[in-house]
């Protein structure tokens, strides 16, 4: 496989984790502009565990996922009384505060003649796991794709459970959900925490692949894109956010002649979809209709 193609596919796979994390928050009826914060937390923690502590990649990614989940839970607890635009703004503020915090973290070590560790605005350099383990771009693509596939299988299993049914009810009408004996607060905190874990895990893979990360990588635009992918893809299924990633990175990246107009085209595409398909391409109604047809054919 061509290295450029493999790099684009890997980038799509990594950003898919961010889009899926935004999707999980949207399911319970909230909008988060701060998923890039958990993505960055996972990236820095995984880089520290693997590059500084020399731990196995499993422990690095696990630590990144746990770090993202814990920070998401804390944010959820702090914003427990907020919803709608107030919650969205609070997530954006949290992400910017984290980015500002990363600009002031300096904890470098000289390991084998290399300066490794976070160095404020200069970022975290020499994350050499991919080189030390002789991973080519295609090899890392297979690793990331395998992790994404496992995540999708888990999410599809969750879709069939009462947990997701309750979460969607909370997202559509929290008062009705509460009258049915469901706790909107519990579902909200659970899915926000899960979204942090997904973003943190994806951020860990992002750090290992890029070998260098810095606070500027986890800015507002990254979070907006992750949210946009989930919205235009639709909330009917976990496949929706993936479709959003493919439409932007996959389609527009493949048309190199339009690279200079990528943001304009993507913005126009989002506007058109919000007008003609406000529930996204893979909307809950579409998924429900497809399930009904499938059942009728097999009755």
Domain around 193: 3-233
pLDDT of residue 295: 65
Mean pLDDT of 34-56: 94
**Per-residue tokens: 207:** 């750090």
Say if 264 falls within a structural domain.
Answer: no
Give, as one character, the DSSP assignment of residue 44: H
- Asked if pLDDT for residue 233 goes beyond 90, the answer is no
Say if 243 falls within a structural domain.
Answer: no
Per-residue pLDDT band for 215 (boundaries 50, 70, 90) equals very high
pLDDT tens digit string along 172-181?
Answer: 888 888 888 8
Mean pLDDT of 57-73: 96
- Asked if pLDDT for residue 287 goes beyond 80, the answer is no
Say if 106 falls within a structural domain.
Answer: yes
With CA atoms as reference, report the closest residue to 30 among 96, 68, 80, 95: 80
The position carrying tokens 């990633």 is 245
State the total domains in the chain.
Answer: 1
Say if 295 falls within a structural domain.
Answer: no
**Per-residue tokens: 297:** 């054919």
pLDDT of residue 259: 62
pLDDT tens digit string along 160-170?
Answer: 889 999 999 99
Mean pLDDT of 142-164: 93
Say if 274 falls within a structural domain.
Answer: no
pLDDT of residue 145: 96
d(CA 297, CA 115): 62
C-beta separation of 28 from 93 below 8 A: no
pLDDT tens digit string along 91-146?
Answer: 999 999 999 999 998 888 887 778 888 988 999 988 988 988 888 999 999 999 99
Alpha carbon distances (Å) from 214 to 57, 186, 196, 197, 233: 20, 34, 19, 20, 29
C-beta separation of 225 from 241 below 8 A: no
d(CA 65, CA 238): 19
Say if 247 falls within a structural domain.
Answer: no
With CA atoms as reference, report the closest residue to 86 among 31, 34, 21: 31
pLDDT of residue 87: 94
């Amino acid at each position: 496989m061509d290295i450029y193609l493999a790099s684009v596919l890997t980038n799509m796979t990594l950003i898919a984790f961010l889009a899926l994390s935004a999707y999980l928050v949207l399911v319970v009826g909230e909008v988060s502009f701060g998923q890039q914060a958990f993505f960055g937390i996972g990236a820095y923690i995984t880089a520290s565990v693997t590059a500084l502590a020399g731990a196995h990649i499993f422990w690095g990614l696990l630590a990144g996922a746990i770090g993202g989940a814990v920070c998401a839970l804390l944010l959820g607890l702090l914003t427990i009384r907020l919803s709608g635009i107030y919650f969205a703004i609070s997530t954006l503020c949290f992400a910017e505060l984290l980015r500002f915090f990363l600009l002031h973290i300096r904890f470098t070590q000289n390991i084998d003649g290399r300066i490794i560790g976070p160095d404020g605005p200069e970022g975290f350099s020499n994350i050499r796991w991919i080189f030390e383990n002789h991973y080519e771009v295609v090899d890392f693509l297979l690793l990331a794709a395998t992790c994404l596939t496992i995540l999708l299988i888990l999410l599809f299993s969750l879709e069939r459970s009462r947990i997701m049914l309750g979460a969607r009810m909370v997202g559509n009408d929290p008062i009705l959900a509460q009258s049915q004996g469901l706790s909107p607060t519990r579902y909200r905190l659970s899915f926000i925490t899960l979204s942090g874990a997904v973003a943190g895990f994806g951020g860990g893979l992002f750090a290992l692949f890029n070998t260098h990360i810095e606070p500027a990588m986890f800015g507002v635009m990254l979070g907006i894109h992750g949210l946009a992918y989930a919205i235009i893809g639709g909330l009917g299924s976990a496949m929706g956010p993936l479709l959003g990633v493919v439409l932007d990175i996959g389609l527009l990246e493949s048309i190199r002649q339009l690279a200079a107009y990528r943001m304009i085209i993507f913005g126009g595409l989002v506007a058109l979809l919000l007008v003609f398909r406000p529930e996204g391409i893979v909307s809950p109604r579409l998924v429900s209709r497809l399930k009904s047809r499938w059942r009728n054919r097999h009755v």
